[in-house]
Amino acid sequence: MTNNRLTWRALQPNSSLYESTFSDISFLEHKDSFAAVQPRLFNALAHLHHQTQSFPLLLLRSQQNNNYLSWIAKAAQHFLPRKKILFGGEYQIIRNNVKLLPPSDITCPFTTQGGVYYANWIESKQFLGCIRKYKDCIQPEAGLIHQANGGTLILSIDTLLAQPSLWLRLRTYLEQGYFNWYAEDEYRPFPIFIPPLPLQLRLVLCGDHNALANFRELDPEIYKIALYSEFEETLQILGKNEMKAWCQWTLSQIKILGVSKPTLDFWPAFINEAVRMTGDQKLLPLCPRWLSHQLQETALHGILNSQSLQESLETRIWRENFISDRIYNDILSNQIMIDTKGSIVGQINSLSVVEIPGHPRPWGEPCRITCVVHPGDGECVDIERKSELGGDIHTKGLLIMQSYLISKLKLGEQLPFSASLVFEQSYSEVNGDSASLAELCVLISALSNRPLTQQIAVTGSVDQFGNVQSVGSLNEKIESFFYICNTRGLTGKQGVILPSNNVCHLSLNQAVVNAVKQEKFHIWAIKNVDEALLLLSGIVWQSQQDESLLHIILERITQMNKNSKNQSLWSLNCFNWFKRHV
């Protein structure tokens, strides 16, 4: 039972491999850090600026806030020509006559040298400019599109989705290469003709997947003429080069905050938190907002080190965990019944994750799944589904679990038992298939009439062949069960079963790591249902020599069929007796 038990070293990312990297990073090297962590974005910007295109547009999957747009703008500045050229022109207004002169004076509002401008929201008048009228005088006023003439303009897609006419005009301007003035009220045109302004512009539109999908509905042909790339949210760490690039990118955020260089012990602790965010030990976050948020809170202590980071994280968790504390208190006071000692037939501890709209942090929660069986027609009743509390994915997981069991039993007729499964004391919708392994184990326990230990909680989904598949939110789930067990008192036999494919996603808090290190708490990584059943019941699932759960179930089925036939024969004899004597 200890072969698949994890050591404490597997519970967090191994940062010791990069100690030399942490020592080598420097504030002086952070200038090109963005290019190192966003190669696809840089390549797309290079194509946009260096290739001659009939329609210079780049669609970029990215967040649309100013933080992201400012970094994209800084990247675009690398590709601007060093030689300054004047773009646009100068409007000369003499009485009722407006002329457009070639650009000669950079101080004129419609003459530019081509820079990079961005906006996450802008109104039509601010963007397109306007014509001011006072008595008989008119005066063109430049908008953002004129300021960006000759350069690069970065906009959020939501701005254009909220103002579709803005995009229609902008596309027309880009296609024809000049800017036409239009009166705000088509029934009150300008009293005089205003010459169009030559427009040479590269456009970058940023939005998430939903915004891009909606934008495609607005302009179905857009992907035929536009470049596409993405602001990558994570960096895969394959070795020291990638780790150095990520550390330099983090240092660039620290430099902006004006904080001193972090100590060496800061990096392993920060990487642990970063892995919790990405959910993978080989992926580290690139989101500038997330990085800045973590660093700002830690910087309040005046220094960036392991202790200041830990204190800031503990303070934040305390500040945000009122609801989860109330739930855990209900469990500890037995208002919500979760057994962490002993063994019970037809009962198992599963692990779920709770996400409440408007709350910034998901948290894990142990849940009790029970199963009862009785003579019947082989139906497995999902009470959650019957009560309309079970989602489609949960139902799918339950059907897969049943298919596996039926294939293993290899019965020539339907199962003479019926079963009912339920998440006890659950009053909201249950969805996802991460409890299907636990449901299968508790069903087998009920069918075999063999108890399962309550000291071990289970998470994982199964396929039709009994393989255990990875699930999400492992750290929160494990820590929730550990918290309950630790508060009640660790027995040295408690722990969690999880899919082996999930080991690379672990970044557990230090309390769990210390308990595993001292062998007071355990984590088992398994590949199939057989391993889980052996850990939970102490009996193998299938064996030719020893007693097995499968053999016990088949014997119960045989006995049930025999009893059913005897009962049918007795009923037939009674019927015949009554027929003869009545």
562 is catalytic: no
Q: Please report where in the chains the tokens 């005046």 appear, as a residue.
A: 302
Nearest to 398 by CA among 424, 356, 437: 437
477 is catalytic: yes
**Which entry of 33, 308, 434, 480 is annotated as an active-site residue?**
434
Query: What is the spatial distance between Cα 232 and Cα 40, in angstroms, rounded to a whole number?
Result: 8
Amino acid identity at 431 = N
- What DSSP line would sit under 515-551, residue for residue? HHHTTSEEEEEESBHHHHHHHHHSSBSS-SSS-BHHH
- For the record, the structure tokens of 91 come out as 């409007």
Query: What is the spatial distance between Cα 495 and Cα 492, in angstroms, rounded to a whole number?
Result: 9
Query: What is the spatial distance between Cα 130 and Cα 109, in angstroms, rounded to a whole number?
Result: 13
Query: What is the spatial distance between Cα 310 and Cα 298, in angstroms, rounded to a whole number?
Result: 8
Query: What is the spatial distance between Cα 116 and Cα 162, in angstroms, rounded to a whole number?
Result: 23
> How far are the Cα atoms of 243, 266, 269, 271 from residue 16, in angstroms, in the given order?
12, 13, 11, 11
Residue 571 burial by Cβ neighbours in a 10 Å radius (0-12, 13-18, 19+): exposed
What's the Rg (C-alpha) of the chain? 33
Query: What is the spatial distance between Cα 503 and Cα 281, in angstroms, rounded to a whole number?
Result: 9
- For the record, the structure tokens of 218 come out as 């607005």
Query: What is the spatial distance between Cα 33 and Cα 48, in angstroms, rounded to a whole number?
Result: 21
- Contacts for 330 with CB less than 8 Å, ≥ 6 apart: 336
Under 8 Å between Cβ of 475 and 507: yes
**Which entry of 156, 229, 436, 477 is annotated as an active-site residue?**
477
Alpha helices by DSSP H, listed for 282-336, are 288-299, 306-320, 322-332
> How far are the Cα atoms of 12, 238, 253, 264, 415 from residue 18, in angstroms, in the given order?
14, 11, 20, 11, 56
Pairing assessment for the beta strands 283-285 and 343-344 based on DSSP bridges: unpaired
Catalytic positions, written as ranges: 434, 477
